[in-house]
Chains A and B, each alone.
Chain A
Amino acid sequence: MENRTKEGARMPGRRNFIRTTSLAGGGILLGVNFFTACGPDVKMPVDLDSLDYHDFNAYIKIADNGRVTIFSPNPEIGQGVKTSMPMIIAEELDVPWAHVRVVQAPLDTIKYTRQAAGGSQSIRLSWQALRETGAYARQMLVTAAARRWEVDPSDCNTSDGVISNTKGQTLGYGEVVREAALLEAERMKAMDEETADAPEGTLALKDPKDFKIIGQPVPNVDNHKIVTGQPMYGMDYRTDGMVYAAVLRPPAFGQVLKDFDASQAKGMPGVIDVIRIGAKLKAMMEGMVDRRRLESLGMVGNSDKVVVIARSTWEAFQAKAKVKATWVQESEYEDDAFHDKVLTGLLDNGPMEAQRTDGDIDRAFLEADDIVERAYSSPFLPHNCMEPMNFYADVKEASVHLVGPIQTPEWASGLVADLLGREREAVHLEMTRAGGGFGRRLFGNYVLEAAEISDAVGLPVKMVCTREDDMTMGTYRPAIHYCFRAAIKDGQITGYHIREAAINGNMHHTIPHFFPAGVVDNYQVDTGNYQSNVSTGAWRAPHSNFLCFADQNFFDELAERLDKDPIALRREMLAQFKGQDDEHIEYTPERMLGVMDLVLERSGYHREEQGVHKGLVVYFCHNTYVAQVAEVVMEEGFPRVKKITVAVDCGIVVNKMGALNQIEGSIIDGIGHAMFGDFGFEKGVPSGANFDRYRLIRAREVPEIATYFVENEHAPTGLGEPALPPAGAAVAIALQRATGKRMYSQPYVRYFLE
C-alpha cells in the first residue's frame, strides 16, 4: 500500500461544493469549484439545494472507458496553468496523464471572483483544493469497487486508473463509475437530511514521494493547436455578421477630443460608419467611488474617442488614418524631465508615508560613523503582449456577449454591466487563450470600449488595436525612483532606510517585509506617489521587477563599503534573523541560503574564467526564492550576457517542463527589459509606438540558462514572475565587475551607447 495518510484532509461535506451526476451517455461528471477551498473567506449560498452545475467552474468527467476529461477554468495567458492545474487533479485521482484530456471550461463570471491570472498565485492558492478534488473522486471510485467486492475500502489500492484489492481482483475506473455515482447520490442525500452520522470520514492524500505526474515534464496541452495554427485567440474569434472597429484615441496623455471630420474616412472602402463614443463611460465614471483608481489604470473617461466601423480589420485601420480629429489640452503634458523632477522632489522633500518602521531610523543615522546612500531610477515600460488588445462584444436587448483575452473576466464584465446599465447576470464573458498578459490584461479598458461600440452600432463588433494603439494606450509599469540608505557603526549595519517614489504608485503591502526586514534593528520603508495623467498598472513581477535591481545593487555596494564579501555579508545578516514571529515576514533565512548555496555550487561561482564577469543575486518575491549568477563578457566595449545559472525554491515543482519554460522566459524577459526597455513621454506623447522605436530582446541576445531546483516538499508556489526581477539585477552586478561602473538606472544600454 502506498502511504496516503501523511497529508490527510477532511472528506468533503456538503459545504465543499463537489457534486456528482451520472451521464446519460455513460460515465460520471463531478462538478467542483477550483476556488472555494482556496480560502476561508468564501461565502456559502443560503440554499444549497438550489445549486446546479452552473455553480461549479470545473468539471471532471470519467467515462465508462476510464478516460478522464478535465474542464479547466483558469485564464491561460501563457503561464501554463491549463496544464499544471489539471495535473494536480490527475495525480490524486491516480490516472495516467495520457488518459487525461484537458478542455477549457466555459466560465461563470457572474458567481465567482477568483477566475483571475495574476501575481503568480494560481497554483499557490489552488494546490490543496485540486489535490482534494482528485482524491475525492478517487475515493468515490474505490468505495464503489469495495462495495462490489464486499471488502473494506482500506483493503483497496489504485494505480493508473485501476483499482485492486488484497485478493488480487482488479477493476478499471470506468467499470465502477455508475455505481460510484449512485453511492454518491446516497451520500449526498444522507448529508442533506443531516442524518446523525453522515459519512464525512477523511480524504487520503498521496505522500509526495509517490507522485507520478507531479514533478514530471508535461508539455503544454494546447501545443498541437498552436503549431498547426488553429484559431484560439481573441484575435481569431469571429461570428456571422461581425464587423470590425478601429479606435482613434488621444495622441497625448492630457488631451481630449474636441471634434472630428470623418468625411474622407466615410468614403473609404468597407467603411460602415464613423462614430464618437465615450458618453457612457463618462456617465459611469461620474458615479464611481473608485474613479481615481480606474483612471490611473487607463479606464479614462475623460476623452471621447472616434471609432471607425468597417467590414474588415484592414479597412478599419486604413479609414482610421483618414479621420481628422481635433484634440485639446485638458491637463498638463508630462515628459521624462517632468517625471524625473517630481520623483526626485518626492525623495528630497516628500510627502512620504512609512510602510514599515522598526526601531529608530533617525537615531541610527545620527549616530552612524558612515552612511551609504544611493538613488536608482527606472523608465516606464509598456507590456507589448504579442497579441494586441482586442475584444468582441455583441450587445443585444436581452443580453451582452463578450469574448476575448482578459486576465480579470469578472471585474471587466461587471464594469460592462455598469457601463450599459444592465444586470450582471445579463453579461456573459467567454475567455480566449491570451497572446500574452504580463499584467496588461488585468485592466479591461479595451473590453469597455468594445461594449460601448457594439451598443452604439447595434452590431456584433470586434475592436482591434494596432500595435501603435496598443503601445500608446498602455497601463504602463510606472517610472520609479528609489533612495537606499544604510547607517554603519563599528563596521555593522545599524540602520536601513528604503524610500520609493513612483508615478501613481508601485508598492505592494508585502514588499516592506522583504530582507533585510527582520535583520536590521532600525529599518524603515517609505513610499510617496505622484498622481499623473499617464495610466499605469501592474507589469510582470509588479513591485519587484525594478526594486530587485535597486535592492541587490545597493547591497553589493554596501558590502564593498564594509569591505566584506557580499556572500559572507548575507550569511552574517541572515544568521541574525529575528523575524520568526513577525506575521508580515514571509521569507525564511534557511530557504534564502538554500538557493544561494545551490547557485554558488552549480554555477562554479568561485571558478575564475578569463574575461568572464559574474554577478550574484539572492532574492525572495512572489512567494518563491530565486538565486542567480549572471556571466557577462565584453565584446568591443559592449556587454553580452553569456550565461545565467539559476537556483529556484518554489516548493514542489508541479510541471517540470512548464517550470523550466517559465523560468527561462522570465530570465530572458528580465534581461531584455533591464538592458533595452526604454519608454517615456514627450509633451504627453509616448516615446515609442511600435517595435522600430521600442527594442525588445531577440534571439541573438539570449544567454545559455541552467536551472536547478531545491528539492523539498513545501506546497508549491508560482513561477510566472519570480525569476524575472533577479535577472536584470544580476546582470548589473556582473557589469560592475566587468567595467568598474555601477548601474543606477535602467536600461543599461544607455551606459554603453554614450
Chain B
Amino acid sequence: MSTFSLKINGSEHQVSVDGSTPLLWVLRDHLGLVGTKFGCGIGQCGACTVHLEGRAVRSCLLPVAQVGEGEITTIEGLSEDGSHPVQAAWLEADVPQCGYCQAGQLMTASAFLAETPRPSRDEIKGAMHGNVCRCAAYSRINLAVELASKKITGDGK
C-alpha cells in the first residue's frame, strides 16, 4: 500500500492503494469518479478511456504507480456543463443509446481531434475503431466526430 498524489481534472487527489491498482479502479472506487467505465479490463473495448497528458489511454491497464506527475482528464473534467465541442456534438447528433460506452468514445474523440482537428472520414473511423459500442451507435459516433471537428475548427460556419 502506497500513497499517490494524482492530478485529476485540475485538482490534486491523494489515494492510498497498491501501486498495481489500475487507474480505472482508483477513479471509480476510491475517488468516486464513476464516469469512466469498466467494460473489459483488457484494453479491448475503450470504455475506460481517459487522457493522460492529453493522450487517450486505457485506464483499465494503467497501474496507478505509472501515472506519476501526469495530468489526468476524465469525462467529468472534459467540461462539467457539456460545453466541450465534442460533448456539444454528441448532444446535437443524439449519439447515446444505452450510453454506457460513451464516456470512452468522447475521450477517444476529444484526444484525437486535439491532434487531428480536420480528419477525413476514414481517419475518424480509424481513430474510433478501438472503442466498442454494443448498441452499435457507430453511425452517429462518426457523425458527431465530424460535427465536433467543425465546432473546433470553425469550419462550415
Contacts and interface: CB of A to CB of B under 8 A. Distances in A.
B12 interface: no
A232 B21 CA distance: 24
A438 B94 contact: no
Interface stretch (A19-27, A381-389, A490-498, A556-564): A381-389
Contact of A387 (B1, B30, B94, B98): B98
A316 to B, nearest CB: 10
Nearest to B89: A227
Contacts of B44: 690-692
Contact of B94 (A77, A220, A231): A220
Given A386-B134, A436-B135, A690-B40, A228 B81 contact: yes
A226 interface: yes
Interface in B18-59: 18, 21-22, 25, 28-30, 32-42, 44-45, 47
Given A78-B99, A223-B90, A227-B102, A386 B132 contact: yes
B18 A386 contact: no
B106 interface: yes
Given A235-B38, A661-B140, A435 B125 contact: no
B72 to A, nearest CB: 13
Nearest to B102: A226
Given A313-B29, A702-B142, A228 B135 contact: no
Contacts of A388: 38-39
A666 B139 CA distance: 11
A707 B126 CA distance: 25
Contact of B133 (A222, A229, A386): A386
Contacts of A222: 96, 99
A192 to B, nearest CB: 44
B25 A314 contact: yes
B147 interface: no
Interface in A617-671: 657-658, 661-662, 664-669
Interface residues of A, number: 62
A233 B131 CA distance: 19
Interface in A670-696: 672, 690-692, 696
Interface string B102-139: 11001000000000000000001110111111111111
A220 to B, nearest CB: 6
A696 B91 contact: no
Contacts of A238: 32, 34
Contacts of A704: 139
Nearest to A698: B129
A705 interface: yes
Contacts of B18: 269
User: Which of B18, B30, B74, B76 has its CB near the most chain A CB atoms (within 10 A)?
Assistant: B18
B6 interface: no
A334 to B, nearest CB: 26
Interface string A414-443: 000000000000000000011111100000
Given A314-B25, A386-B45, A226 B34 contact: no
A224 interface: yes
Interface in A69-88: 77-80
